[in-house]
Chains A and B, each alone.
Chain A
Amino acid sequence: MLKRKRGGTMDSGRINLMFMNTVVLVGVLVSAIPFIYMITASFRHQGELYSLPVTIMPREWTGHNYEKLFGDTKFVIWYGNTIFTAGIRTVLGVYFAALAGAAFAKYDFRFKRLCFFIVLATLTLPFHVILIPLFLLMRDFGWIDTYWAVIVPGIVGAFNIFLMRQYIEAVPDELMDAARIDGASEFGIFHRIIIPLVRPALGVVAILTFVNTWNDFLWPLVVLHDDAKYLLSIGIGTMDGPYDVEIGAIMAASFLSTLPILIIFVLMQRQIIAGLTQGAIRG
Chain B
Amino acid sequence: MSASAMTAKRSLEPGAVSSWWSRNQRKVIPYIYLSPFLIAFLIFTVYPAGASFFLSFQRVRGFISPEEGGGVVLEYQGLKNYERLLTKDKRFRTALINGAEFAAGTVLIQMPLALGVALLMNAPHVRFKTLARLAFFAPYITSAIVVAWIFTLIFDQRYGLLNAVLDRLGMGAVGWLTDKTFVMPALIILGLWTWVGYNSLFFLAGLQNVPEDLKEAARIDGAGTLRVFWHITIPFLRPVFVFVIITGLIGSFSLFTQPYLLFDSGSGPQDSALFPLMYLFFMGFENFRMGYASAMGFILTVIILMITGLQLLLFRLWKV
Interface on A for B, CB 8 Å cutoff?
2, 4-5, 17, 20-21, 23-25, 27-28, 30-35, 37-38, 41, 49-54, 56, 96-97, 99-100, 102-104, 107, 109, 112, 115, 118-119, 122, 124-137, 139-140, 142, 152-156, 161, 181-183, 185-187, 190, 211, 214-215, 217-218, 222, 232-233, 236-237, 247, 250-251, 254, 257-258, 261-262, 265-266, 269, 273-274, 276-277, 279-283
* A282 and B206 alpha carbons, distance in the complex (Å): 9
A54 to B164, CA, bound (A): 6
Other A-B pairs, 7, CB within 8 Å; known A126-B297, A130-B49: A34-B139, A49-B159, A99-B32, A131-B297, A137-B44, A140-B66, A233-B145
Instruction: List residues of chain B with CB under 8 Å of any chain A CB.
Output: 3, 6-7, 10, 25-27, 29-34, 36-38, 40-41, 43-45, 47-49, 51-52, 55, 66, 70-72, 117, 120-121, 123-129, 131-139, 141-154, 156, 158-161, 163-164, 193, 197, 201-202, 204-206, 209, 238-240, 242-244, 246, 250, 253-254, 256-257, 261, 276-277, 280-281, 284-285, 290, 293-294, 296-298, 300-301, 304-305, 308
- Of B139, B154, B290, which is within 8 A of A31 by CB? B139
Q: Known: A31-B197, A269-B133, A283-B239. Contact between A103 and B30, CB under 8 A?
A: yes
Number of A-B contacts (CB under 8 A): 301
Most buried by A among B6, B141, B163: B141
Main DSSP-derived SS at the B contact region: helix
The reply to whether A107 and B29 form a contact with Cβ atoms under 8 Å apart is yes
Query: How far, in whole Å, are A100 and B29 apart by their CA atoms in the complex?
Result: 10
Can you sample 11 A-B contacts with CB below 8 Å? A21-B127, A27-B135, A33-B161, A50-B159, A122-B41, A128-B280, A133-B51, A139-B66, A218-B257, A280-B202, A280-B240
Instruction: Please state if B280 and A265 are interface contacts (CB–CB under 8 Å).
Output: no
B300 neighbours in A (Cβ, 8 Å): 126, 128-129
Across-interface contacts of A127 in B (CB, < 8 A): 254, 277
